[in-house]
Amino acid sequence: MCGRFTITVSYEELVHHLKDYYEIDDVSLFDVPRYNVAPGQNIISVLNDGKKNRVGMLKWGFVPPYAKDEKIGFSMINAKAETIFEKQAFKDSILTKRCVVLADSFYEWKKEDNRKTPMRILLKDQKVFPIAGLWTTYKKEDGTKLHTVTLLTTSPNDLMKSIHDRMPVILNKANEKIWLNPTIKNETILQSVLKPYPSEFMMAYPVSSLVNNSKNELPDCIIEVSTENKQDLFN
């Protein structure tokens, strides 16, 4: 699964990225940098409305339109790419509400003996990357609308196999264009872009147990830590 991630760029860097990669000029004041983004929070998402790309904040945790309680979102922070077309909850979104969520790394916990070591996984160029997502709109009892999103996961690449059995679907530029194109509804084409990102372009390193608590939103969360000394320093 993917349960935590970062987007550590400055606001100015984010503005430039949105303009250069998505031709988006109208940018809100986003809260960046973020060092420990968690489910239930609003996350930076890009979608295409059929004419142009748009950026906004979606709540992390998919709440289907038919849900009786919006709390279901906490159990739907991820969706398996392999079965996305089979699930009733995503039937509409996979065809009409695809998006990408912007990040520059994600955390996963590697099991070692009797403990779990938090790892930060990122691209070697350390740039912002898009994670494939699906969004939807849930209407609350009071009539207000809640826009939510889930992140797609896939099988691990060679780098991730030693850390976890799933990883987020990171899209390259060509696949991102396909994913964001609302006119594409062919299952075969869409499934073809939902694959593990090549491990040769990625890296991982251990970080402190600070990231275990989502309330810890500090630059220290992304600092590499010696596995020998980590437990003594942060426990």
Residues that are catalytic: 2, 108
Q: Residues near 167 by Cβ (< 8 Å), separated by ≥ 6?
A: 2, 108, 121, 153, 154, 155, 156, 157, 160, 196, 197
Distance CA 132, CA 145 (A): 23
Kindly report the number of other CB atoms within 10 A of residue 189's CB atom.
12
What letters, b where the CB count within 10 A reaches 16 and e where it falls short, cover 146-160? bbbbbbbbbebbebb
- Helix, strand, or coil (residue 174): helix
Residue type at 34 in one-letter notation: R
Distance CA 19, CA 26 (A): 9
DSSP tag of 226? -
